[in-house]
Structure 1
Amino acid sequence: MKMNITSAAGVISLLDEPEPQLKAFALEKLNSIVDVFWAEISENVDKIEVLYEDSTFKNSELAALVASKVYYHLGAFEESLTFALGAGSLFNVNDTSEYVETIIAKCIDFYTKQRVKNIDGTEEQRKEIDPRLEAIVNRMFQRCFDDRQYKQAVGISLETRRIDIFERAILESEDVNAMLLYSLNVCMSLIQNRHFRNTVLLLLTKLYMGLQTPDYINVCQCYIFLDDAQAVADILEKLLKGTEENSLMAYQIAFDMYDSATQQFLLRVQNALRSTVPLPQTDPKKVGDEKEDSNMEEGKEKMEAEASETGSSPTPVKPQTEEEKKLADRMKKLHTILGGEITIGLHLQFLIRNNKTDTLILKNTKEAVRNSVCHSATVMSNSFMHCGTTCDQFLRDNLEWLARATNWAKFTATASLGVIHKGHEKEALNLMSTYLPKDSSPGSAYSEGGGLYALGLIHANHGGEITDYLLNQLKDASTDMVRHGGCLGLGLAAMGTARQDIYEQLKFNLYQDDAVTGEAAGIAMGLVMLGTKQSTAIEDMVAYAKETQHEKILRGLALGIALTMYGRLEEADALIESLCLDKDPILRWSGMFTLAMAYCGSGSNQAIRKLLHVAVSDVNDDVRRVAVTSLGFLLFRTPEQCPQVVSLLSESYNPHVRFGAAMALGIACSGTGLKEALSLLEPMTNDPVNYVRQGALIASALVLVQQNENTCPKVAHYRSLYSKIISDKHDDVMAKFGAILALGIIDAGGRNMTISLQSRTGHMNMEAVVGMLVFTQFWFWYPLTLFLSMAFTPTCLVGLNEDLKMPKLEFRSNAKPSQFAYPPPLEDKKEKTKEKVLTAVLSITAKQKKKEAEKKKDEEKMDVDDEKKEKEKEKEEEKMETEEGEKEKQDKEKSEKEKEPEPNFQMLDNPARVMKAQLKVLVMPEGSRYLPVKDVSHGGIILLKNNKPGEQEEIIEPVAAGGPKMEEEDEPEPPEPFEWTED
């Protein structure tokens, strides 16, 4: 018969017995009942500890296990862990009890802290790790391998800095390729220490290269993070010298690199390639100039002919073999890809081809605005709607209205042309020639400054030759408006190049101590030195920021400092700390933005904690607003987390904090249509403070960009809300400004662009992050609003053949056409509601007519009675007929709809508009002539292998810039030839 024990006193008393066997028996019993009687046993835990410490006692490990469990129940986890380590093999890591799970978690946490301190910490922080602790962790890893939990092993090995386990987990997994990709994503999104991340990336490149077919695309992505241009150049050279398929792979890597790397890195790759495989000697400035090319060819032929005649030549030209010609041709193509001309050209073609801007929205907005702020907002909204489409028809149709812009509004209006013609680089100088500074006839300084700013926006992050033009214009500028535009334009064109001559010129402009010029110079210095962490640049900027009396200059430098530390992670900690402790609030918010840029996209808990602390503790509203806004930059890789983090801040008593929460949601959740974000923004659109409403309206558009009613049902509500606010005469200007911008953002780039702060390859989209950061400064300076255009990314899929041309082909989207369709255009209400205007009738006249009618009615009643009945009968019959007709019509329409159900798929022509969510359902159709080098579900520009190289390809002809023209009527044919005589 089994008895239930009601007390552990009897078993505990056995611990006082002199016989070791009895003590061992007591410990075994206590181990089995400790989960029930731990409170009673805890009073005698010292006796158990004595047994553990007794070296002559054979069962000391069992004593340690019992003591560990007692301390666990008491909540003393550190003591519990210490005794668990003493229990040795008796502590079973494979047990699934709550006690074992908790102690293992504590064990890993403690081990991780110590490992990190030993690798990253100072000499005093480094300690030798308890081998027993390491043994438990090793057993835990073994458990992961036994259970085939390789992803778990990768995660814990990265946390504990165990590179040996990390490598083993990848190599022992069933699908090494998938595990490598998972590890790369984890490495890029979760590791917040730059040095350790580089160690992991080096190992990943080794593993990628060790595959049976090396994954060169991801290897090169790793090398971009490692900033190793030479290694990338070596891989590209190796691929170019290989088969046709290998050369396609090299082109694909080059396209992906252009999306991910800085101008400086791409330039270094090109230089490294030139040193190994020299290009055929041509003047780079004259590439594309056919006349010059033909002249060079003629000259070359002449030289060769002369050489053959004389039989000798001072510099004998060795004829190129077929292989060398092929390699030179491939190299030339690769250089054009790395130079970015092809990517920019393809995006431009896609945006011109697919432009679906609804100009009625702009027309309605234009008619509703009544002041200069809303006028400027409409001009900027138009530029966002037409971003990259080269379609400036709205401005041409409303030149008189546009001419109302004066002073800085004129500057902004001119600069907005740069957004419309973004990427239209070949014609940039011709397009902007009217507005650019001229020696002969000086024009408006505001227009000239705006023109230079526009050139920068057209060439953002792809300066090339225009950089030197802008540099010269800045040197020659005589007014602060032209210098302001020149600095911004130059900063944009030379972004991330770290060119010392440009930096020095900008510094010279900064030191002129002019408020307007200084603000732009401060921002531009940060743009040029983007992510370089150059100590002299930081010292220059911080020192001048502490000296200057101009708030505008201080604000410009505050942004510049933050941009210099882009992506530097822990390397920026010392600077952030010193800025956050400064007594000047502008430098403190510079510290917040520096933190946002350094840890951008990392989701670092430490950085988030710091921002949240400042958001609720700083005495200055600007600092608090910026701290909350900065959360968006940290969390954009995991947008679903942002609403949880800022939910309480969105209800803060402080309107600046509420505005910051709205912007953080807009930045982190941009282009996602996230319901949780919209549910937080909705109450803020009715906030009592107008600038909070402004922030909420702009943020909602950032979240809803390119969404339709199928992907996000709320979009219709927000579109009507924007229109309602704009048309309401009594609404505040600030809210109207937000609503007008929101209309432009939500339909960005002819409804073909989204906002994404990370590239398709998983890298941070540097251009987008910078654009978004400077855009937030519209709070102080409206012209900076145009920086948002840098965050717009075309949602395209472009297939290219080996000649880098677009062949005619189709992609299959396995979703209903309506799922990802364009939003329906607005209908012009004026045309629909043309009603007959009733004539006003006086009440006296109405009464008189009524009397006369009654009198007449009485006289003719008898005669008319029968007629009236007949008429009523006829009317009823007519009514029945019309009702039947309508019913038949409805039934017919209904049956037609039933007959033609919406297909479950859609065929998309190359180049195709493909939204991010649509990529998952995108495939190449069966039996297609072309085979993609990488999966089409990645989107972007994809190289295609032609499976029928012998057959002729149908190539898509490029569309002329300025958008597809309206179909013109056929011109009459010219008359037949004839001879004219005077008779």
Structure 2
Amino acid sequence: ESLYEDEEFGQHQRQLAALLVSKVFYYLGELNDSLSYALGAGPLFDVSEDSDHVHTLLAKAIDEYASFRSKAAESSDEAAKVDPRLEEIVERMLDKCIMDRKYQQAMGIAIECRRLDKLEEAITRSENVHAILAYCTHVSHSFVYRREYRREVLRLLVKVYQKLPSPDYLSTSQCLMFLDEPEGVANILEKLLRSENKEDALLAFQVAFDLVENEHQAFLLNVRDRLSAPKSLPSEPVQPGSTNPAPAENENSTASEDVQMTDGSSAITTNVHEADPKEVMYAERLMKVKGILSGETSIQLTLQFLYSHNKSDLLILKTIKQSVEMRNSVCHSATIYANAIMHAGTTVDTFLRDNLDWLSRATNWAKFSATAGLGVIHRGHLQQGRSLMAPYLPQGGAGGGGSPYSEGGALYALGLIHANHGEGIKQFLRDSLRNTNVEVIQHGACLGLGLAALGTADEEIYEDIKSVLYTDSAVAGEAAGISIGLLMVGTASEKASEMLAYAHETQHEKIIRGLALGIALTVYGREEEADTLIEQMTRDQDPIIRYGGMYALALAYRGTANNKAIRQLLHFAVSDVSDDVRRTAVLALGFVLYSEPEQTPRIVSLLSESYNPHVRYGAALAVGISCAGTGLSEAISLLEPLTSDVVDFVRQGALIAMAMVMIQINEASDSRVGTFRRQLEKIILDKHEDTMSKMGAILASGILDAGGRNVTIRLLSKTKHDKITAVVGLAVFSQFWYWYPLIYFVSLSFSPTAFIGLNYDLKVPRFEFLSHAKPSLFEYPKPTTVPTTTSAVKLPTAVLSTSAKAKARAKKEAEQKANAEKSSGAESSSSASITGKGKSSSEKDGEAMQ
């Protein structure tokens, strides 16, 4: 050490001494000292040397440097403190990686150390730039925890993408969507649409479809409005105005009215005819792209697919209906929910039509739910939505004729039909909301508006809903709170503090709860930006607001697997005094972790064995949400013991969660699916089962076969972007603990499991598709004709115990009477009637069992 510090000693010798001291400290385990001397050794410390000493110190150096750089980024004055020698070593390391063609390592280090210049160098110097860019996008989503920095990385990627000789428009537009830059996307689409090449137009359609899959309504509308209208000749000044409304009309026109569609397009062509043929082509393509961006093209195709391939099993519903006692309104409603979920988006309402008498037994809120269920069944039926619901909608005039419950339900249904595509229906819902003072109708109208205007942050709608909130009616206020959240989703607007202030003022628990969830929805996806609000909510004295704080954490850090958020949630899950807050904290883990589903069972496994039933319930739903549709083996193993928990609501949660995990998984992929289906049937048929777990089993049956067995629950799109509608849908669905009608929100998270191929005209041609998976892996479950025969075999065991004795007794009595009075024929006939009664009662038992 003293030789190294001796300034009269030669430079080279001093560096040798430093290297030696560094090694000595390394073997003593003093890594900090070892590193500082290694830095003093200058070029003698060879980064390419393959020894433990070098490897350990390099790792240490990179960690030190990365933490310096990230601190520097957060506060400007730290920047000066980075040791230039440290920087030099890291740079040598990066250059060596690039020289050795270990580009992925170089990119990892560059991202970690916030050296975007080196990141760009690593990307541009690699042989396969496209693959490296895709890898970089993946890394930035999975490992870059700070939102601001992630956006910087994505900006760099967009820059690199645009410099490529053959730009990758699909990936570029995805990055631009993350950055929320509709202008850039509109420019790409326009460039492709104006191209002479037909391939480019097809690419534009594909870009549009990929963006639609992420369900970010406000962004898509922005892109759509920024596409310039086709130019026309100056001799027709009317034209620019009229070309634009034409596509808009067509978007709202009916699919069945093909005539109108063609008229519209031919009108455009004739008018632009004197103009450039290129403009004619552009006008035609523009119309298609606008149709795609409004989401209507894909909704139409999905609707067609779900209707034509509907494989739902009405026998399951029939079994449920027969086994549920009429008096039990909870299970009666649950059956209606299950039917709606089972036929979500298929437009098949056979079960309801066949059982109108049974359905009419629903009263009050059950009636509200039954009507709203039609919205789930007809979801996406944008053209006829309103005419379908017409019989139930509030008729003009002050009072209206029908029951307020079915009118409220119908308005909610309209919201569900138009969820995230509410352009055509918003005005009608606003008028209905203004024209009523009945809180039930206000409740339905608020929920409907929130769904239709999801994420559009429309100020006028906000004012309408706010005025309902300020009437301080508990029922309407709860829906108003939630729907403000839906309207403002992800805007992190100052409205949240207004809502929080009102939540402190009001006396109604329902309103506070609605607002708590609403506030959580406004910070959707804002990560660190939401921290102050989350802090404020989680420290509140009111448990309901803390409960909202858990949702705020869940939604702000949705799908980021952010360690800080997980730590906070785990802390509340074990330390809060309110059971509600603890339950929600565990449940919220499901939202934070859905991008890494295999982590969730590991993280909540201990909580699922907690002494507190609320925590166990939360653990079940956390697994259900984050592993939805994966069929993950660990998830199923964790949920299995919970489905036979001692507490009824834990069983309910576990059954629902299990159905979410097993959706679209058949017995060929996991044999436990069959076992689970049989378990559900057993619970539903069991007369002595608790209402709560019976309800869970009925809902689980619906979710398991959702959408005619053709949909799955998907929270991430193919491009790993989170599907806003789906995540929001599940967040509100998880509120059904307090308010059953919110169960229908689960339908927002359904996405069809279909491969839909289109041609240039956006029609589905006949095409062959080669799949490398065995057909057995994705065949539909067999329709349940079998259980009827097996239950017939079971019947004697169930029936014999009671009616065998009755039969024997009747037979004995008959014989005795016959023997005693052979003479009287009349009496013998009466004894026969007794035997008849005995028989009929046993038959009745049999029917009831079936």
Please report the TM-score for the alignment, with normalisation by the length of structure 2: 0.88
2:490 to 531, 537, 542: 531
Task: Indicate if the aligned counterparts of 1:224 and 1:261 stay in contact, CA closer than 8 A.
Answer: no
2:465 to 506, 519, 522: 506
Distance, in Å, in 2 between the alignment partners of 1:584 and 1:74 is 54
Distance, in Å, in 2 between the alignment partners of 1:574 and 1:845 is 83
Runs (5+) with no aligned partner, structure 1: 1-48, 305-315, 847-983
Distance, in Å, in 1 between the alignment partners of 2:122 and 2:266 is 62
The answer for the alignment partner of 2:226 in structure 1 is 272
Superposition map of 1:337-376 within 5 A: 337-370=292-325, 371-376=328-333
The answer for the alignment partner of 2:70 in structure 1 is 116
Secondary structure of the residue that 2:46 maps to in structure 1?
A: coil
Superposition map of 1:822-841 within 5 A: 822-830=780-788, 833=792
1:131 maps to 2:84: yes
The answer for the alignment partner of 1:413 in structure 2 is 370
| CA distance 1:73–1:794, change in 2 (3 Å) | same
Distance, in Å, in 1 between the alignment partners of 2:813 and 2:435 is 79
Superposition map of 1:1-80 within 5 A: 49-58=1-10, 59-80=13-34
Distance, in Å, in 2 between the alignment partners of 1:829 and 1:748 is 20
Deviations 1:169-210 (A, max 9, x none): 212222111111111122223222222222211221122122
2:543 to 582, 585, 599: 585
Which residue type is aligned with residue 725 of structure 1? Answer: I
Moved more, 514-523 or 75-84: 75-84
| CA distance 1:677–1:95, change in 2 (3 Å) | farther
Task: Indicate if the aligned counterparts of 1:360 and 1:828 stay in contact, CA closer than 8 A.
Answer: no
The answer for the alignment partner of 1:87 in structure 2 is 41
Deviation of the 1:606 alpha carbon: 1.4
The answer for the alignment partner of 2:163 in structure 1 is 210
The answer for the alignment partner of 1:184 in structure 2 is 137
Distance, in Å, in 1 between the alignment partners of 2:230 and 2:198 is 20
Deviation of the 1:99 alpha carbon: 3.5
Deviation of the 1:814 alpha carbon: 2.0
Secondary structure of the residue that 2:755 maps to in structure 1?
A: strand
| CA distance 1:245–1:654, change in 2 (3 Å) | same
Secondary structure of the residue that 1:754 maps to in structure 2?
A: strand
Secondary structure of the residue that 1:826 maps to in structure 2?
A: coil
Superposition map of 1:712-791 within 5 A: 712-791=670-749
Distance, in Å, in 1 between the alignment partners of 2:613 and 2:52 is 46
Deviation of the 1:654 alpha carbon: 1.6
Task: Indicate if the aligned counterparts of 1:190 and 1:603 stay in contact, CA closer than 8 A.
Answer: no
1:402 maps to 2:359: yes
Task: Indicate if the aligned counterparts of 2:230 and 2:282 stay in contact, CA closer than 8 A.
Answer: no
Task: Indicate if the aligned counterparts of 1:471 and 1:490 stay in contact, CA closer than 8 A.
Answer: yes
The answer for the alignment partner of 1:559 in structure 2 is 517
Which residue type is aligned with residue 263 of structure 1? Answer: Q
Task: Indicate if the aligned counterparts of 1:666 and 1:698 stay in contact, CA closer than 8 A.
Answer: yes
Q: Name which one, 1 or 2, has greater alpha-carbon Rg.
A: 1
Secondary structure of the residue that 2:534 maps to in structure 1?
A: helix
1:144 maps to 2:107: no
Which residue type is aligned with residue 572 of structure 1? Answer: A
2:416 to 441, 457, 461: 457
Deviation of the 1:647 alpha carbon: 1.2
Task: Indicate if the aligned counterparts of 2:216 and 2:723 stay in contact, CA closer than 8 A.
Answer: no
| CA distance 1:713–1:333, change in 2 (3 Å) | same
Distance, in Å, in 2 between the alignment partners of 1:348 and 1:292 is 21
The answer for the alignment partner of 1:678 in structure 2 is 636
1:169 maps to 2:122: yes
1:386 to 331, 343, 347: 343
Distance, in Å, in 2 between the alignment partners of 1:686 and 1:199 is 49
Deviations 1:878-901 (A, max 9, x none): xxxxxxxxxxxxxxxxxxxxxxxx
2:624 to 666, 669, 693: 666
Which residue type is aligned with residue 56 of structure 1? Answer: E
Distance, in Å, in 2 between the alignment partners of 1:509 and 1:406 is 25
The answer for the alignment partner of 2:334 in structure 1 is 377
Deviation of the 1:578 alpha carbon: 1.5
Which residue type is aligned with residue 573 of structure 1? Answer: D
The answer for the alignment partner of 1:806 in structure 2 is 764
The answer for the alignment partner of 1:236 in structure 2 is 189
Which residue type is aligned with residue 296 of structure 2? Answer: E
Which residue type is aligned with residue 783 of structure 2? Answer: P
Deviation of the 1:715 alpha carbon: 0.7
| CA distance 1:239–1:439, change in 2 (3 Å) | same
Deviation of the 1:60 alpha carbon: 3.0
Distance, in Å, in 1 between the alignment partners of 2:272 and 2:623 is 63
| CA distance 1:341–1:689, change in 2 (3 Å) | same
Distance, in Å, in 2 between the alignment partners of 1:729 and 1:83 is 77
Secondary structure of the residue that 1:810 maps to in structure 2?
A: coil
Distance, in Å, in 1 between the alignment partners of 2:286 and 2:575 is 57
Deviation of the 1:604 alpha carbon: 0.9
Runs (5+) with no aligned partner, structure 2: 232-239, 816-850
Q: Please state which structure has a larger fraction of its residues in helix.
A: 2
Distance, in Å, in 1 between the alignment partners of 2:244 and 2:421 is 23
Which residue type is aligned with residue 709 of structure 2? Answer: R
Task: Indicate if the aligned counterparts of 2:145 and 2:560 stay in contact, CA closer than 8 A.
Answer: yes
Distance, in Å, in 2 between the alignment partners of 1:757 and 1:255 is 17
Task: Indicate if the aligned counterparts of 2:429 and 2:449 stay in contact, CA closer than 8 A.
Answer: yes
Distance, in Å, in 2 between the alignment partners of 1:300 and 1:815 is 46
The answer for the alignment partner of 2:286 in structure 1 is 331
Deviations 1:836-893 (A, max 9, x none): 99985979999xxxxxxxxxxxxxxxxxxxxxxxxxxxxxxxxxxxxxxxxxxxxxxx
Deviations 1:74-119 (A, max 9, x none): 4443333223322323333334444433322222221111101111
Secondary structure of the residue that 1:408 maps to in structure 2?
A: helix
Please report the TM-score for the alignment, with normalisation by the length of structure 1: 0.77
Distance, in Å, in 2 between the alignment partners of 1:391 and 1:294 is 29
Distance, in Å, in 1 between the alignment partners of 2:198 and 2:571 is 57
Task: Indicate if the aligned counterparts of 1:592 and 1:611 stay in contact, CA closer than 8 A.
Answer: yes
**RMSD over aligned Cα atoms:** 2.5
Task: Indicate if the aligned counterparts of 2:586 and 2:618 stay in contact, CA closer than 8 A.
Answer: yes
Task: Indicate if the aligned counterparts of 2:265 and 2:284 stay in contact, CA closer than 8 A.
Answer: no
| CA distance 1:768–1:840, change in 2 (3 Å) | same
Deviation of the 1:347 alpha carbon: 0.4
Distance, in Å, in 2 between the alignment partners of 1:724 and 1:294 is 55
Task: Indicate if the aligned counterparts of 1:286 and 1:292 stay in contact, CA closer than 8 A.
Answer: no
1:158 maps to 2:111: yes
Distance, in Å, in 1 between the alignment partners of 2:122 and 2:648 is 55
Deviation of the 1:656 alpha carbon: 1.3
1:541 to 499, 502, 514: 499
The answer for the alignment partner of 1:9 in structure 2 is none
| CA distance 1:77–1:692, change in 2 (3 Å) | farther
Deviation of the 1:361 alpha carbon: 0.9
| CA distance 1:219–1:715, change in 2 (3 Å) | same
Deviation of the 1:286 alpha carbon: 4.2
Secondary structure of the residue that 2:712 maps to in structure 1?
A: strand
1:248 to 190, 202, 206: 202
The answer for the alignment partner of 1:15 in structure 2 is none
Task: Indicate if the aligned counterparts of 2:344 and 2:378 stay in contact, CA closer than 8 A.
Answer: yes
Secondary structure of the residue that 2:34 maps to in structure 1?
A: helix
Task: Indicate if the aligned counterparts of 1:435 and 1:447 stay in contact, CA closer than 8 A.
Answer: yes
Deviations 1:400-438 (A, max 9, x none): 111111111111111111111010111111111111101
